[in-house]
């Protein structure tokens, strides 16, 4: 195995194979223990219709069901955060049907995003790029979830998992901004495996991953933007050998995005030198 690969696998905590039932039990227990230890009242998570939030949402609801059955106060707020009308709204509704959340809300991020876009133009005299605006969408979703969390004493869940973490394929302080990460340690195919094990319909577990942040290219596949396949990323994280040029692409992204996987850098930090 490549030297950096071994280091990355240790940091990402990905196992070469998993027992889905064991992963569900461990992660539901983690959510329950964390809620009880912090004295909070439950969880909030944006549900996009993608496979990561489908799993994160279902695990949260399973934790809430168990906490309630044990006599604790607990709520899971599943929040739809569309930018106006979402093209794959059907998938989001299917995810909600599967998750069965105690509470479902819809919080349209369009007015917030458009307001910032207008003020960007006023401030700079220029039109914001579609790419940069995509990151604003992800950050406004974070703001909306923290508004709900602050009001109700909830924890914001994040859906960061191994394949996204290693490539830094998330918006810093956007979808990367969360309190706890119940999927961390799984790669993308393991997320699918666990969702399938929990009984989600194929339309959800087989869905092509998309950040879906661009107006110019709606539903653009992550793999297209990344230029690396999830098959290769997953194999790499399971310790398998992949073509050297693909491994180099992953490692280049890993090194360039270290700043996203740490708390803000201070004068005491040396890791970046």
Ligand X SMILES: Nc1ncnc2c1ncn2[C@@H]1O[C@H](COP(=O)(O)OP(=O)(O)OC[C@H]2O[C@@H]([n+]3cccc(C(=O)O)c3)[C@H](O)[C@@H]2O)[C@@H](O)[C@H]1O
Ligand Y SMILES: Nc1ncnc2c1ncn2[C@@H]1O[C@H](COP(=O)(O)OP(=O)(O)OP(=O)(O)O)[C@@H](O)[C@H]1O
Residues 135 and 174 sit within 8 Å (Cβ to Cβ): yes
Q: Does 50 bind Mg ion (CB under 5 A)?
A: yes
Residues 6+ positions from 191 with CB-CB distance below 8 Å: 51, 52, 55, 161, 183
The active-site residue, picked from 164, 212, 222, 238, is: 164
Q: Does 168 bind Mg ion (CB under 5 A)?
A: no
Nearest C-alpha neighbor of 101 from the set 38, 44, 29, 181: 44
Q: Which is nearer to ligand Y, 81 or 155 (CB)?
A: 81
Residues of this chain, 167-186, that bind ligand X according to CB under 6 A: 169-172, 174-175
Stretch that binds Mg ion, among 46-54, 93-101, 139-147, 189-197 (CB under 5 A): 46-54
* Binding footprint of ligand Y on the chain (CB under 6 A): 45-48, 50-53, 80-82, 86, 141, 159, 164, 175, 209-211
Q: Which is nearer to Mg ion, 50 or 176 (CB)?
A: 50
Q: Which is nearer to Mg ion, 45 or 242 (CB)?
A: 45
Token pair listed for 125? 């005299």
| Distance (Å) of CA 59 to CA 31, 43, 54, 173, 206 | 8, 11, 9, 23, 18
172 binds, among Mg ion, ligand Y, ligand X, none (CB under 5 to 8 A by kind): ligand X
Residues 189 and 235 sit within 8 Å (Cβ to Cβ): no
Determine the Cα angle at 228 with ends 225 and 232, to 5°. Answer: 150
Nearest C-alpha neighbor of 134 from the set 69, 56, 219: 219
The active-site residue, picked from 23, 52, 91, 212, is: 52
Question: Which segments are annotated as binding site for Mg(2+)?
Answer: 52, 164
Report the catalytic residues: 52, 164
Contact set with ligand X (CB under 6 A): 135, 138, 164, 169-172, 174-175, 211, 213, 222, 225, 259, 265
């Amino acid at each position: 195995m490549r030297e950096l690969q071994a280091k990355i696998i240790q940091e990402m905590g990905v196992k070469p194979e998993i027992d889905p039932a064991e992963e569900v039990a461990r992660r539901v227990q983690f959510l329950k223990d964390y809620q009880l230890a912090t004295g909070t009242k439950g969880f909030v998570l944006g549900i996009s219709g993608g496979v990561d939030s489908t799993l994160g949402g279902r695990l949260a609801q399973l934790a809430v069901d168990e906490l309630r059955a044990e006599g604790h106060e607990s709520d899971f707020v599943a929040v739809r955060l569309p930018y106006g009308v979402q093209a794959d709204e059907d998938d989001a509704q299917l995810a909600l049907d599967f998750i069965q959340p105690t509470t479902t809300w819809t919080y349209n991020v369009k007015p917030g995003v458009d307001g910032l876009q207008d003020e960007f133009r006023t401030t700079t005299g220029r039109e914001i790029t579609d790419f940069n605006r995509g990151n604003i969408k992800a950050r406004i979703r974070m703001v909306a979830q923290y508004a709900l969390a602050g009001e109700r004493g909830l924890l914001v869940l994040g859906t960061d998992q191994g394949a996204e973490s290693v490539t830094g394929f998330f918006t810093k302080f956007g979808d990367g901004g969360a309190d706890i990460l119940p999927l961390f340690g799984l790669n993308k195919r393991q997320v699918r495996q666990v969702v399938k094990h929990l009984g989600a319909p194929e339309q959800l577990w087989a869905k092509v991953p998309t950040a879906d942040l661009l107006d110019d290219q709606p539903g653009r596949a992550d793999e297209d933007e990344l230029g690396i396949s999830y098959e290769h990323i997953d194999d790499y994280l399971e310790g398998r050998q992949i073509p050297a040029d693909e491994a180099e692409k992953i490692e280049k992204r890993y090194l360039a995005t270290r700043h996203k996987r740490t708390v803000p850098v201070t004068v005491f930090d040396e890791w970046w030198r």
